[in-house]
Structure 1
Amino acid sequence: MSSSDSFSPRSGFVYGIAAYSLWGLVPIYFNELKSVPPFELLAYRVFFSVVLMLAILTGIRRWGDLRNLFRNALTTRRMLLSTVLISINWFTFLYGVLSNQILQTSLGYFIAPLVNIALGIVIFSERLRWMQWLAILLAGMGVGFRILIAGEVPWIALTLAFSFSLYGMVRKKAAVDGILGLTVETLLLMPLALLFLGWVAWRGPTAITHSTTWVTWMIILSGAITAAPLILYAQAVRRLPYSTIGFLQYLSPSVTFVLAVFVFHEPFPEELRIGFGLIWAGLLVYSIDAIRSRPRASGRSTRNPLPNLPGASVRPGSS
């Protein structure tokens, strides 16, 4: 495959669909780990992700790229910011799944595409079409209705939506591919993870040493479960317009929604249906607008416009 083919929109769609499908199914995996406290599980995810990513980096001989990345101050700062954002997202998602609030995690990722539009206004001073404004208004009404009726802010959903939208924006600005990016993010989190796991071990039994063999292996494999969709996502976000990424985000929460209602049998009362309905209406308006405006954008290049790191070999097809 040529370099231009590997950066084509077609490959971006393949990466994006694969990433969001895996994310949608992840609650099934972590629902089996309810016996593990969320912070401890997050620390294990970081630790085993680092082990996996360093093994991959060694196998494809990219230690030089890692050194070059840390020599670039701007990219390092961007990766530090993306690390903070993804760690917030990871913990919030784990908390939602382990506390039987999978519907809220689904709601968060339904809101995320519309948060992308809002961030485009605030950060990039983008001008919106009237249908985009209507989409944001409907989504805001959906969240507002949930707050008004339920009497509580859906903080899990809002935290997931904003943290992940901001994460995608930062990663799009950082000229780092999926494998290298996730390696850096987990390496930056590794000291905190080790300190926390050491504190847990000092206080008493740890989940990995005092669980069934099945749970222990699931904890160990959490690194692979964490790494795979993020690598695919990082590859997709560098190949596709950000609006297209927002459109693909529908897949993950749709799968999660089906799991929450029909597999885990979470309650779905009328007030929640109305809130979801308003947000879905906003997404429908957004989708119609995206389809209508696509011919005007068809001539734009979707190839990543950002320069590679000085001296680094960014391999778009390596993941």
Structure 2
Amino acid sequence: MTEQIASNRAVTAALVTTEGPGGMSDGKKGFIFALSAYLLWGVLPFYLKSVAHMPALEVVAHRIIWSVPIAALLLWWLGLFGDLKVALTTPRMLFMAMLTASLITLNWGTYVWAIGSGHAIDTALGYYINPLVNVVLGGIFLGERLSKPQAVAVGLAACAVLLLTVYSGGLPWISLVLAFSFGFYGFFRKTLPIGPTQGFMLEVLLLSVPSLAFIAWTVSQGTSHFFNGSAHDVGLLLFAGPATAVPLILYAFGAKLLRYTTIGLMQYIAPTIVFLSAIFVFGEPFSHIQFIAFALIWTALAIYTWSMLQQARKVKAA
């Protein structure tokens, strides 16, 4: 825990000392960091569409591999490699990092495949549901009692999922896998006594071993788009690192400088951009039943957001 506190102070100090024009406040800097992250996540499907001709596992493997040098460079700049050394020699940290790394890999793999297969609307639904999944996980595993508005919001989300299940003849598994994998990732990630930047580096470092093995296998099979593909494909795969690491790092910095309620409100930016892009740019079909389901989800999120703001006002008043 001491390492975590020291790491958090180091990251915050590095951010605060980087004054913007006119001595920008922490809140403004945090807002810019978080907004940049959510905007980048919102336009990420355009990149994923450009690599849709490649297998999702290959894209994910390169997302991991090329994220390592970026995360390592940031840790070196912040002087936080000591935390990483501690984590690598602590069995409990390694076990938890392997668990969170597995969950985020499942999330990334599903997302990459879904976008490339024309299911961007389903991915947007998944990330709309995610905040409500977090509420449910808190109630089940942390004993947190759901307020009445939160219970209503979760109920509306369940109705939306049931409606889509009946309409399509099966569970909206893409949305549910994305929502629950990211929900459990965030839940277990909180148990890691290490800062977000160090944690991300630890996760991609652990994932780099199977990723390199998979890439070696594609080379041996002659199916590697990096070694056997065009220069365009090589460039796209190299860009997978910045496309993955940069928004995550920006989000980590922004979350440290913003209030929880502000981050909670901003988290809807990315799925909204994805949703609009899916309909108006990618041309995915959007039925009346899907519209009703999304309307239920949007209503649920409005109720949840209202309850979150009310709670924040009570805490501030106290």
The worse-fitting range, judged by mean Cα deviation, of 110-119 and 287-296 is: 287-296
Identity of aligned residues (%): 33
User: 1:291 maps to what in 2?
Assistant: 309
User: 1:227 maps to what in 2?
Assistant: 245
User: 1:194 maps to what in 2?
Assistant: 212
Post-superposition offset of 1:245 = 4.1
Post-superposition offset of 1:204 = 1.2
Measure the CA separation in 2 of the matches of 1:123 and 1:242: 20
The answer on whether the counterparts of 2:12 and 2:256 sit within 8 Å (CA) in structure 1 is no
User: 1:127 maps to what in 2?
Assistant: 145
Post-superposition offset of 1:195 = 1.0
What's the Cα RMSD here? 2.5
User: 1:116 maps to what in 2?
Assistant: 134
3-state secondary structure, aligned to 2:66: helix
Measure the CA separation in 1 of the matches of 2:283 and 2:208: 36
Structure 2 residue 93 is the aligned partner of structure 1 residue 75: yes
Report matched runs for 1:1-319 at 5 Å: 3=13, 12-237=30-255, 245-298=263-316
Post-superposition offset of 1:9 = 6.1
Q: Which amino acid aligns with 1:80?
A: M
The worse-fitting range, judged by mean Cα deviation, of 9-18 and 20-29 is: 9-18
Post-superposition offset of 1:58 = 4.0
3-state secondary structure, aligned to 1:221: helix
Structure 1: unaligned runs, 5 residues or longer: 301-319
Q: Which amino acid aligns with 1:199?
A: W
The answer on whether the counterparts of 2:127 and 2:175 sit within 8 Å (CA) in structure 1 is yes
Measure the CA separation in 2 of the matches of 1:18 and 1:173: 27
The worse-fitting range, judged by mean Cα deviation, of 236-245 and 62-71 is: 236-245
The answer on whether the counterparts of 1:172 and 1:237 sit within 8 Å (CA) in structure 2 is no
Post-superposition offset of 1:108 = 0.4
Evaluate the alpha carbon distance shift between residue 169 and residue 102 of structure 1 in structure 2; reply closer, same or farther with a 3 A threshold: same
Which structure has the highest helix share of the two? 2
Deviations 1:7-43 (CA, angstroms, capped at 9, x unpaired)? 9666554433322221111001111111111111111
Evaluate the alpha carbon distance shift between residue 175 and residue 5 of structure 1 in structure 2; reply closer, same or farther with a 3 A threshold: same
Q: Which amino acid aligns with 1:267?
A: P
3-state secondary structure, aligned to 1:225: helix
Evaluate the alpha carbon distance shift between residue 252 and residue 165 of structure 1 in structure 2; reply closer, same or farther with a 3 A threshold: same
The worse-fitting range, judged by mean Cα deviation, of 173-182 and 251-260 is: 173-182
Measure the CA separation in 1 of the matches of 2:215 and 2:112: 17
Give the TM-score normalised by structure 1: 0.86
Post-superposition offset of 1:54 = 2.8
Q: Which amino acid aligns with 1:64?
A: G
The worse-fitting range, judged by mean Cα deviation, of 288-297 and 123-132 is: 288-297
Evaluate the alpha carbon distance shift between residue 164 and residue 193 of structure 1 in structure 2; reply closer, same or farther with a 3 A threshold: same
Deviations 1:166-225 (CA, angstroms, capped at 9, x unpaired)? 222223332323331211111101111111111111111311133332232111010011
Post-superposition offset of 1:295 = 1.1
Q: Which amino acid aligns with 1:111?
A: I
Measure the CA separation in 1 of the matches of 2:184 and 2:33: 20
Deviations 1:140-174 (CA, angstroms, capped at 9, x unpaired)? 10111000111121111111111112222223332
User: 1:317 maps to what in 2?
Assistant: none
Measure the CA separation in 2 of the matches of 1:79 and 1:299: 38
Measure the CA separation in 1 of the matches of 2:297 and 2:141: 23
3-state secondary structure, aligned to 1:94: helix
3-state secondary structure, aligned to 2:190: helix
The worse-fitting range, judged by mean Cα deviation, of 40-49 and 105-114 is: 40-49
Measure the CA separation in 1 of the matches of 2:26 and 2:104: 26
Evaluate the alpha carbon distance shift between residue 12 and residue 56 of structure 1 in structure 2; reply closer, same or farther with a 3 A threshold: closer
The worse-fitting range, judged by mean Cα deviation, of 16-25 and 237-246 is: 237-246
Measure the CA separation in 2 of the matches of 1:18 and 1:176: 24
Q: Which amino acid aligns with 2:64?
A: V
The answer on whether the counterparts of 1:132 and 1:289 sit within 8 Å (CA) in structure 2 is yes
Q: Which amino acid aligns with 2:286?
A: F
Measure the CA separation in 1 of the matches of 2:254 and 2:280: 30
